[in-house]
Structure 1
Amino acid sequence: MFSRFEKLVDPFTLDNLEQPPQGFWAFCWHYTRPVAPFLCIVSIMSAAVAVIEVMMYGFVGDLVNWFATSDRATFFDDHTDDLIWMGILVLVIMPVLEFAWQFLFHQTIIGNYPMSIRWRVHRYLLRQSMTFYQDEFAGRVAQKLMQTALAVREVITRLADVLVFISVYFISALVLIGQTHWQMAMPLALWIVGYIGVMVFFVPRLRDISKTQANARSDMMGKVVDAYSNISVVKLFSHASREDNYAKASMMGFMKAVYRQMRLVTLLEIALKTINQLLLVATVAVSIYYWHLGLATGGDIAIATGLVLRLRGMSQWILWEVSGVFENVGTVQDGISTISQPQVVLDKPDAVPLVVSSGKIEFDKVSFDYGKDEPVVDALDLTINPGEKIGLVGRSGAGKSTLINLLLRFYDLNSGAIKVDGQRVSDVQQDSLRAQIGVVTQDTALLHRTVLENIVYGREGASLEEAKEAARKAQALDFIEGLTDSNGNSGMDAQVGERGVKLSGGQRQRIAIARVLLKNAPILVMDEATSALDSEVEAAIQDSLNVLMEGKTVLAIAHRLSTIASMDRLIVMDAGRIVEMGSHEELLTNGGLYASLWQRQSGGFIA
């Protein structure tokens, strides 16, 4: 039974990855559509339950009147049908509605609804541009993903509950009391006006402070996670106290929002208690007055007083439900500002997979500036022939790594074109482009998973033996077999920690090289690929790198010029332009920038 209701909604559908709307209601509807039919059914059931509850108060009033006026001898003859009908309503119809409501709401909606949102938002964010993640804390993005999903659910489900159940309940109560004498319904009508006034005054203020609080919470989370993610830097510089103060500032900002919220809550409670007490006194007074005039019966008084007592008990819940809606509205609005940002680098609608036949790369008058005034790459022309090994040389900031990022299409060009085997990288599918390029960087990032999972990340479906062979070629198998983690896993099954923190820099880089060896892409990019290795290990894996480079088009960046001196051609860059080009010997003979860098090396690195 539970499983059937849980499977009515699949939260992991592969929908189109379109940009979420930036309007509040459009955003909510975008993520509500999978569960919308079930929300409608739940709302109809809530309305039916509200009507039945009010009818029960009418029945109690009728009972009081019957007891006062009916003859005991003929009581059941006169009212058997009414009693049977109310019994069916209470014992059959209402339980069926309640049970169905519980299953639909808790099994179908409560879990699947936010998970569907998280899944769809996560898939969209994974395809966001590099600039998006450069401008955001990873922890802040994750926090907004989690809290926005829950907030959307709370806004929609609470609104459905409040608008349907409460409106039906209030209207039914007014009609039922007004059926005796409309004057007896006046206190309730005035109370509803006052109640709405309280909500109009307080709820928008709670919404605004909630948005501020949600943003402060995300900021606090991002700063805390930033310290945890870079714990080695914190400890190396003995800055735990500094991080205390850094986090404390964001925590104090969050607490200011909390204090403001609690002040509003206190005033809200006082206003609510006041109008509730006035409602009770006014209703009882009017009822007694009309009974004294002989215009109201005991049953009428029972109906009016019972409903008022019920409404007094419900009023706080209602107001908190409405307040909860608007508090979550603020959270959703804060999430929209992050989640609904457009993806800057997009595949064209008619983009096709990249087909690499030989590996020729062309940079045709390429210019790029990261949105700044000065170009980082300036009208650069370069052709790399199939299978050619190119070394990129230059001072820091010359544009070498930017050139690699543009080839991978992490950014779109300002002007010019980059082609692989005659195909513009802007015209092909990004995933297919990057699938054809193996990359080993200086800042090696490993996933917080096992060694095996990190290596086979290079090629989906690779076997354990293939992963071990790649690790052996990368001179990594020996240290991998000696690894253990806190859960007792060892070797290939050992966890490497967040970003590979449990491994040394050289170990991380060798696993990264194993990953690229396994990928075996036709184009290879090495950005300081051996910088974290000691000379002995670098010499040991150089043969494997030479094997890896065979038959591939290679672009290698290195500050240790000796590692790329044997490349087919060296490209010397300065200020985003190519200033020299040739073999190692030719460039030394020319006596230009390359020769100057070579002469000024200290221990094999550019000084």
Structure 2
Amino acid sequence: MFSWFENRIDPFPAEKPEQPPTTLVAFCWHYTKGIWPWLAITSFLIAAISVLQVALFGFLGNVVDWLTGADPASFLAAEGWTLFWMGFVILVALPLLSLGHTLVMHQTIFGNYPMVIRWKAHRYLLGQSFAFYQDEFAGRVATKMMQAALGVREAVTKILDVFIYVGIYFAGTLVLVGTLDIWMMIPFVVWIAFYIGLLRYFLPKMREISERQSNARSTMTGRIVDSYTNIMTVKLFAHAGREESYARDAMTGFLKTVHPQMRYVTMLNTGLDVSNSLLLFAVGAVGIWSWTNGDATVGAIAAAVGLVLRLEGMAHWVMWELAGLFEHIGMAQDGMGTIAQPRMVRDVPDAKTLAVKEGRIDFEGIRFHYGKEDGVIENLSLSVEPGEKVGLVGRSGAGKSTLMNVLLRLYDLEGGAIRIDGQDIRKVTQDSLRSQIGVVTQDTSLLHRSVRDNIAYGKPDATEEQIVQAAKRANAHEYILGLVDPQGRTGYDAHVGERGVKLSGGQRQRVAIARVFLKNAPILVLDEATSALDSEIEAAIQESLYALMEGKTVIAIAHRLSTIASLDRLVVLDKGRIVEEGSHEELAKADGLYAQLWARQSGGFIDVSEAVAAE
């Protein structure tokens, strides 16, 4: 039975994720598609439960009146069928309705609903631009996504469940008490008006605080995660105390939203307690007065007082539910601000799959400047022939890595075009573009998974033999066999830690190179691919890199000029423009920038005094 209800909603819908709306109601509805029929069922069930519970108080009044004037000998004969049906409602109908409601709510909705939101939001965020993640804490994005999922679920279910239940219960109470005695209905009307006034005054204030609190919570979590993620930097600079202060500032900011919230809760609770006491006194006094005048029966007073006692507990419950509702609305709105951002780099509607037959790359008058006034790349044109090995040379900030970023379409150009075998990369899918380009960067970060998984990331369907062969070609196999992680997993099964922190820089780089060996893409980009390796390991792997380059179009970026001196052509960049190109021999003999850089190298590196800006 449980499994049937749990499988009514697919938590991982297959449809392509779209940008969510940027208004709260539309945002919630966007993530409620496929869920709403089950929400409608819960609303119907809770409405039926509410009606029957109010009706039971009316029946209680009738029972009191019956027992007051009935003959015990004939009571069951006269009222037996009425008692039977009310017993059926109490023992069968209400439990079945409650069971149905809790099964749908807790088995069908509560687990699957937020998972649907997380799945859709995660898939959408995976497609966000590279710039989006440069502007955000990874922990903050993850926190907001998780909070938004719970916020949307709680906001929607509370509105439907609580509001329907309470609305029908309050309306039913007024109708029932009015039918019993019109005078006793007056205190209920006054109490409901006062109760609504309390909520209208306090809840908007609590909502405003909840919104600030949700943002403060995300900031606090983001700062803590940032410290953990960069723990090596924290320790190297002995800044644990500084990180404590950094986190404490965020925690203090969070507390500044909690204390005012609790003050409002205290005032609201006090107002509610006073109003509840006045209601109980007023209903009892009016009921007794009406009974003395012969207008109200003893059963009517008993039913009215029972309703008051029920409403006292319900009023506090509703208050907390509404306070929680606004808190979750704040969480949903806060998450919406991050999740619903448009993608800056998007596939065109009719994007084709990139087909690489030769591997020719043409940069045609491209322009890009990261949103700055001065261009990083200005009107640059460059053609790389199929199978040609081109090295990019220049001071830091010259535009070398930017050229790689726009080739991979991590950013969209502001002018010009890049074509691969004549195909404009803006008109092909991003996935197909990047699947045709193998990349090894200077700062290699690995997934917190096994070594095998990290290497196989280049080819998910690779066999064990292919994975091992790629590791051997990257000179990584021997050290991999000696790995052991804290859980006792060894060799290729050993996990590498977050961003690969359990491996040395050289070991991470060799895994990354093995990954690209396995991918075997026709275009290869090397961005300081061997910079993390010592001379002995670099020499051992250089031959493998040359083997990897065979038959591929290669663009290699390096400050260590000796690593690219043997390439077919070197292109020298300065301030986003090509200032020289030719072979190493030709450029070294010329009196240009390359010759200056080559002459100033010490141990194979460009003089750091030439670095003008971080790229």
TM-score with structure 2 setting the length:
0.98
Contact map agreement 2:203 2:322 (CA 8 A) in 1 = yes
Moved more, 29-38 or 431-440: 29-38
Contact map agreement 2:439 2:524 (CA 8 A) in 1 = yes
In the TM superposition, residue 310 of structure 1 has moved relative to its aligned partner by 0.4
In structure 2, the partner of 1:80 is 80
Moved more, 582-591 or 501-510: 582-591
What SS does the aligned partner of 1:458 have? Answer: coil
In the TM superposition, residue 183 of structure 1 has moved relative to its aligned partner by 1.6
Q: Report whether the alignment pairs 1:299 with 2:299.
A: yes
What SS does the aligned partner of 1:34 have? Answer: coil
In the TM superposition, residue 217 of structure 1 has moved relative to its aligned partner by 0.7
Give the 5 Å matches for 1:156-195.
Answer: 156-195=156-195
Q: In structure 1, what is the Cα distance between the partners aligned to 2:571 and 2:276?
A: 81
In structure 1, the partner of 2:360 is 360
Q: Report whether the alignment pairs 1:381 with 2:381.
A: yes
Q: In structure 1, what is the Cα distance between the partners aligned to 2:171 and 2:227?
A: 55
In the TM superposition, residue 267 of structure 1 has moved relative to its aligned partner by 1.0
In the TM superposition, residue 227 of structure 1 has moved relative to its aligned partner by 0.8
Question: Which 4+ residue blocks in structure 1 deviate beyond 2 angstroms?
Answer: none
Q: In structure 2, what is the Cα distance between the partners aligned to 1:498 and 1:353?
A: 33
* Structure 1 stretches lacking a partner, 5+ long: none
In structure 1, the partner of 2:18 is 18
Moved more, 441-450 or 262-271: 262-271
In structure 2, the partner of 1:370 is 370
What SS does the aligned partner of 1:136 have? Answer: coil
Deviations 1:501-535 (A, max 9, x none): 00000000000000000000000000000000011
In structure 2, the partner of 1:549 is 549
What SS does the aligned partner of 2:443 have? Answer: coil
Contact map agreement 2:474 2:510 (CA 8 A) in 1 = yes
In structure 2, the partner of 1:45 is 45
Give the 5 Å matches for 1:409-558.
Answer: 409-558=409-558
Q: In structure 2, what is the Cα distance between the partners aligned to 1:247 and 1:65?
A: 66
What SS does the aligned partner of 1:499 have? Answer: coil
In the TM superposition, residue 590 of structure 1 has moved relative to its aligned partner by 1.2
Q: In structure 2, what is the Cα distance between the partners aligned to 1:374 and 1:268?
A: 57
In structure 1, the partner of 2:142 is 142
TM-score with structure 1 setting the length:
0.99
In structure 1, the partner of 2:9 is 9
Q: Report whether the alignment pairs 1:57 with 2:53.
A: no
Q: In structure 2, what is the Cα distance between the partners aligned to 1:17 and 1:99?
A: 35
In the TM superposition, residue 479 of structure 1 has moved relative to its aligned partner by 0.5
In structure 2, the partner of 1:154 is 154
Deviations 1:314-339 (A, max 9, x none): 11001111111111111111111101
In structure 2, the partner of 1:593 is 593
In structure 2, the partner of 1:394 is 394
Contact map agreement 2:496 2:503 (CA 8 A) in 1 = yes
One-letter code of the match for 1:88? F
Deviations 1:317-375 (A, max 9, x none): 01111111111111111111101000000000000000001000000000001111000
Q: In structure 1, what is the Cα distance between the partners aligned to 2:304 and 2:250?
A: 51
Q: In structure 1, what is the Cα distance between the partners aligned to 2:460 and 2:454?
A: 11
One-letter code of the match for 1:108? T
In structure 2, the partner of 1:331 is 331
Q: In structure 1, what is the Cα distance between the partners aligned to 2:180 and 2:5?
A: 44
Q: In structure 2, what is the Cα distance between the partners aligned to 1:16 and 1:559?
A: 42
What SS does the aligned partner of 2:526 have? Answer: strand
One-letter code of the match for 1:534? D
What SS does the aligned partner of 1:555 have? Answer: strand
Contact map agreement 2:17 2:124 (CA 8 A) in 1 = yes
Q: In structure 2, what is the Cα distance between the partners aligned to 1:205 and 1:327?
A: 11
In the TM superposition, residue 404 of structure 1 has moved relative to its aligned partner by 0.3
Q: In structure 2, what is the Cα distance between the partners aligned to 1:80 and 1:15?
A: 58
Deviations 1:58-102 (A, max 9, x none): 111001000111122221121111111101111111111111111
What SS does the aligned partner of 1:500 have? Answer: coil
One-letter code of the match for 1:377? I
In structure 2, the partner of 1:248 is 248
Q: In structure 2, what is the Cα distance between the partners aligned to 1:217 and 1:491?
A: 40
Contact map agreement 1:347 1:428 (CA 8 A) in 2 = yes
In the TM superposition, residue 263 of structure 1 has moved relative to its aligned partner by 1.2
Q: In structure 1, what is the Cα distance between the partners aligned to 2:90 and 2:267?
A: 39
In structure 1, the partner of 2:309 is 309
In the TM superposition, residue 181 of structure 1 has moved relative to its aligned partner by 2.3
Contact map agreement 1:452 1:467 (CA 8 A) in 2 = yes
In structure 2, the partner of 1:261 is 261
Contact map agreement 2:181 2:300 (CA 8 A) in 1 = no
What SS does the aligned partner of 2:524 have? Answer: strand
In the TM superposition, residue 33 of structure 1 has moved relative to its aligned partner by 1.5
Contact map agreement 1:367 1:377 (CA 8 A) in 2 = yes
What SS does the aligned partner of 1:567 have? Answer: coil
Give the 5 Å matches for 1:89-168.
Answer: 89-168=89-168
What SS does the aligned partner of 1:366 have? Answer: strand
Give the 5 Å matches for 1:209-228.
Answer: 209-228=209-228
In the TM superposition, residue 16 of structure 1 has moved relative to its aligned partner by 2.0
One-letter code of the match for 1:107? Q
Contact map agreement 2:475 2:510 (CA 8 A) in 1 = yes
One-letter code of the match for 1:482? G
What SS does the aligned partner of 1:573 have? Answer: strand
Contact map agreement 2:183 2:290 (CA 8 A) in 1 = no
Moved more, 337-346 or 173-182: 173-182
Deviations 1:566-589 (A, max 9, x none): 000000000000000000011011
Deviations 1:38-67 (A, max 9, x none): 010011000000011111111110010001
Q: In structure 1, what is the Cα distance between the partners aligned to 2:483 and 2:60?
A: 74
Deviations 1:521-556 (A, max 9, x none): 000000000000011101101111111000000000
What SS does the aligned partner of 1:379 have? Answer: strand
Contact map agreement 1:6 1:108 (CA 8 A) in 2 = yes
Q: Report whether the alignment pairs 1:579 with 2:579.
A: yes
One-letter code of the match for 2:521? A
Contact map agreement 2:46 2:165 (CA 8 A) in 1 = yes
Percentage of identical aligned residues: 58
One-letter code of the match for 1:442? Q
Q: In structure 1, what is the Cα distance between the partners aligned to 2:189 and 2:503?
A: 70
Q: In structure 2, what is the Cα distance between the partners aligned to 1:347 and 1:529?
A: 29
In the TM superposition, residue 268 of structure 1 has moved relative to its aligned partner by 1.2
Q: In structure 2, what is the Cα distance between the partners aligned to 1:242 and 1:53?
A: 58
Q: In structure 1, what is the Cα distance between the partners aligned to 2:433 and 2:471?
A: 25
Q: In structure 1, what is the Cα distance between the partners aligned to 2:309 and 2:603?
A: 86
In structure 1, the partner of 2:239 is 239
Deviations 1:406-442 (A, max 9, x none): 0000011111000000000000000000000000000
Contact map agreement 1:439 1:524 (CA 8 A) in 2 = yes
Contact map agreement 1:207 1:328 (CA 8 A) in 2 = no
In the TM superposition, residue 180 of structure 1 has moved relative to its aligned partner by 2.2
What SS does the aligned partner of 1:32 have? Answer: coil
